[in-house]
Amino acid sequence: MGAPVRLVAGLGNPGPEYVATRHNVGFRILDHLAIHEGLLFRSARNLDGYGGPRAFSWARLFSPEALLLKPETFMNRSGTVVAPVARHVLGDPPDPARLLVVYDDLDLAPSGLRIRPHGGAGGHNGMRSIIQCLDTDRFPRLRVGIGRPGTDAARHVLAPFSEAEEEDIAISVAEASEAILFWLQTGDIERCMTRFHSRWNRDS
């Protein structure tokens, strides 16, 4: 019997005006991973067969078996897609250890990366929505630093990276994609943390 299917949800906002923004780094990482693995995202206008009514984009990875998911409900309603898809793909109730959420973090320096096996929302509205809709915070997550500005945080997350930041973010996107693949292959978030945190801390 093969390894159980896993679900990776990258968070962001839909629409071309948000593509290059800091808040969409979760989408960007999944896009990078899909290109690396030769996958194409498909759009679903509803969740027919996935237990709910909201739109999303998805790509299927077969080795290891996983579903890559980009909710298209805007950040604050991410849970209305992630939760029903998780119940369909991972079982009802879903096994939270088989879900990985990838998202931006104001509390990490730009291009910083952190993996955690579980935890709270940390002020992130997309994560808050997922935790509320799943009724648990016991799922792994990968956070990508976008830095905390001295100005309004809402404007900061919806702004693009600077030219200087873009060089570091491109490296972080590739590193995050590699970490996701390692987790998908091993299913071991602790090993993933050990392997990649040591590298990221050494290079920082």
Which residues are annotated as catalytic?
23
**Is residue 125 a contact partner of residue 101, using CB atoms and an 8 Å limit?**
no
Helix (H, G, I), strand (E, B) or coil at 138: coil
Token duo for residue 81:
């897609």
Q: What is the DSSP string of 147-175?
A: ---SS-HHHHHTSBPPHHHHHHHHHHHHH
**Is residue 81 a contact partner of residue 134, using CB atoms and an 8 Å limit?**
no
Please enumerate in sequence order all residues whose Cβ is within 8 A of that of 111, keeping only pairs 6 or more positions apart, or say none: 144, 145, 165, 168, 169, 171, 172
